[in-house]
Chains A and B, each alone.
Chain A
Amino acid sequence: MGFLDIHTHSIRSSGTDSPLRMAAHARRLGIEIGLCDGPRGDGAGDVACHGTELRPSGSRELKRELMKRNPGFILVRAGSEALNRAAVGDKRVGALVDLGRNRTDAAISPVVARKAAETGVAVEVNLGLLASSRGFSRIRLIRGIKQTLELKRKFGFTIIAATGAQSHLDLRGWDTAAAILRALGFDDAEVDEALRDGPRAVAEGGQG
């Protein structure tokens, strides 16, 4: 079994391709995808799993969002330190995603890292964000990923890699994603966990 990219969007949420187009392109790349289209994503066939991406502005809004019906696994877009702590402190959340988007911190703090290790909430490395960034913003992202990897080795939480794809153009195959992760300092076991085992655990947690 190969790369499971659990952070992708179709036209039913913020993407620009149909769910079938995303799934067919993923098959050509030899990977599987999970669409984060929320309640509108129900019923879209051909994908490995479905989930919801929550984009709360703060920890209070996150609590309110978690009370609603969120089909499948739940991903939470990272933001302030308080929001990140609230997200990794709740076992309903599968992963904290999009670190470094919208000028937010590209790395998690040691407190968030320790909490994530305790609750089993994963932290995402967004390869799509890395590919679309340039210059200093990419340097900031790389620094954040390296800091998060150091914290993972210290505290033992799970890092997952995903593309945050909004179209088939953003999807990447296993070999390509693994090459980028290795260049960032991941060893072989960490690459396997980030691309295969970690995402599967998040997807299965959401189904349970």
Chain B
Amino acid sequence: MRKGMKPSMRPRKRYVAFRVYCDDRIEKEEFIRSLWGEATAFFGEERAAELNLWVMDYHPETGTGFLVCRHDRLEVVRGALGLVGRIGGRRAGIGVLGVSGTVKSLKRKFLNKVEKFKEEKGKIDFEGDAFNLVRSHGEFIDAVPERDELKARLKEQNRRFIGLTRKDIGW
């Protein structure tokens, strides 16, 4: 009977938990396309091919997920994640929540306490400007401004919401 490969002989891997920050919902395919786009554009196809990069899990409703890569190419993967500034034409950023050698510990340490977005309604005031609430997640609030100058600034920066905190509006 054929035996499996010994654990010591298996290629070593690293699991990376990440969160996509964006004003819009980002689908898995869009995220994967952007990540591979950055990895191949910046590091080249030859180096990108060595990463053994695979997005194993992704939840568009929270923007969190985890990927696997070769343990000795973790630095390149971190670099590629850091260079993603736009996803599907929308401004975005990716934060690395943590790195682990097993999926079990990765989920336990970094992916258990992710805040979900909650829809909010109402008007608020911040430093003399009026805003319409859109959503909250944890201590963070996203709102749409009423002042035209701020609307133009958001458009220029390819964003939809002004980012505030609960403390800003006295909640």
Contacts and interface: CB of A to CB of B under 8 A. Distances in A.
A171 B93 contact: yes
B41 to A, nearest CB: 8
A61 interface: no
A171 B93 CA distance: 8
A182 B75 contact: yes
A130 B93 contact: no
Given A18-B163, A167-B163, A24 B82 contact: no
B10 to A, nearest CB: 25
A177 B82 CA distance: 7
B165 A21 contact: yes
Interface string B124-140: 00110000000000011
B67 interface: no
Nearest to B140: A21
Given A21-B164, A169-B92, A177-B82, A183 B42 contact: yes
Could you say which of B82, B95, B127, B161 has the most chain A C-beta atoms within 10 Å of its C-beta?
B82
Interface stretch (A9-17, A48-56, A76-84): A9-17
Contacts of B85: 128, 131-132, 169-170
Contacts of B165: 18, 20-21, 24
Contacts of A20: 164-165, 167-168
Contact of A176 (B78, B127, B154, B167): B78
Interface in B134-171: 139-140, 150, 153-154, 157, 159, 161-165, 167-168
Contacts of B22: 169
A64 interface: no
A16 B154 contact: yes
A22 B75 CA distance: 26
A111 interface: no
Contacts of B150: 11, 16
Contact of A169 (B21, B43, B126): B21
Contacts of B159: 16, 167, 169
A131 B95 contact: no
A2 to B, nearest CB: 14
Nearest to A132: B85
A173 B95 contact: yes
A173 B82 CA distance: 8
Interface of B: 21-22, 41-43, 75-76, 78-79, 81-86, 91-93, 95-96, 126-127, 139-140, 150, 153-154, 157, 159, 161-165, 167-168
Interface of A: 11-12, 14, 16-18, 20-22, 24-25, 28-29, 127-128, 130-132, 134, 138, 166-173, 175-177, 179-180, 182-183
12 contacts: A16-B161, A21-B163, A22-B163, A29-B95, A127-B82, A132-B85, A132-B86, A169-B21, A170-B93, A171-B93, A172-B82, A182-B75
